[in-house]
Structure 1
Amino acid sequence: MVMYEPLPKLRNGEPLVDYIKEAQYNKLDKKGIKRKLIDNNNPERIRADDVITVVYKNQKPITGQVIMVKRQGVASTILIRNKITGLGVETHIPVFHPNIVRIDIIRRPIKYKPRARHYYIRNSRLDVGELDGKK
Structure 2
Amino acid sequence: MRRLALALALAAAPVLADSTLPAAKWANEQLPDPRQEEAAKNLMLTLRCIVCQGQSIADSDAELAGDMRAMVRTRIAAGEKPEAIRAWLVERYGQWVSYKPLVEPLTWPLWFAPLALLAVGAFLARGRFRKHR
TM-score (norm 1): 0.24
Determine which structure has the larger strand proportion and give its number: 1
Larger Rg: 2
Higher helix share: 2
Q: Per chain length, whose mean CA-contact separation is higher, i.e. which structure has more relative contact order (CA < 8 Å, sep 6+)?
A: 1
Normalising by structure 2, what TM-score? 0.24
